[in-house]
């Protein structure tokens, strides 16, 4: 096999992977997903953010990383015990990895802390989902 054929196969492989990522993102959004950036490891330099698509699944918020070959969610956040510790605007270095006009929520649950960044419309939906827990559960608010 020559260099031309090898280069062609590599380009074909890259095109297939890019097509898969685009198809997966469109499919997740068409199924009712929202654009969300998430990070579970915090640092002060704005690193660790990953773009993804979030889905509400009953009492869980399933987050799918955009650049992932897996078919299942990368993070599953349970509504039970989830509390919002703080809200803030994104800092300069981290704004590149977030949806436009995003607000950052620092959340705490039994499984640990996570920061979620989402635009105004997605934020309204997330807060409504969080408030609409079944009767008998406390509303997990903190500001």
CA-CA distances (angstroms) from residue 39 to 2, 32, 50?
Answer: 44, 22, 6
Q: What integer pLDDT is reported at residue 32 of this predicted model?
A: 72
Q: Are 116 and 107 in contact (CB under 8 A)?
A: yes
Stated pTM of the model = 0.72
Question: Which parts of the chain register pLDDT below 50?
Answer: 139-143
Q: What integer pLDDT is reported at residue 142 of this predicted model?
A: 42
Q: E strand or H helix at 117, and its extent? A: strand 112-118
Q: What integer pLDDT is reported at residue 46 of this predicted model?
A: 52
Q: Please give the structure tokens belonging to residue 73.
A: 């969610």
SS3 content of the chain, % helix, strand, coil (to 5): 30, 30, 35
């Amino acid at each position: 096999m020559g260099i031309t054929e090898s280069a062609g196969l590599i380009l074909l492989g890259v095109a297939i992977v890019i097509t898969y990522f685009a198809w997966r993102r469109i499919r997740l959004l068409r199924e009712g997903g929202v654009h969300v950036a998430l990070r579970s490891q915090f640092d002060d330099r704005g690193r660790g953010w990953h773009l993804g698509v979030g889905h509400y699944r009953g009492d869980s918020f399933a987050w799918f990383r955009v650049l992932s070959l897996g078919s299942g969610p990368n993070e599953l956040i349970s509504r039970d015990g989830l509390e919002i510790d703080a809200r803030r605007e994104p800092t300069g270095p981290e704004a590149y990895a977030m949806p436009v006009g995003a607000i950052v929520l620092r959340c705490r649950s039994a499984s640990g802390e996570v920061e979620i960044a989402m635009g105004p419309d997605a934020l309204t939906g997330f807060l409504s989902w969080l408030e609409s827990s079944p009767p008998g559960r406390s509303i997990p608010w903190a500001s």
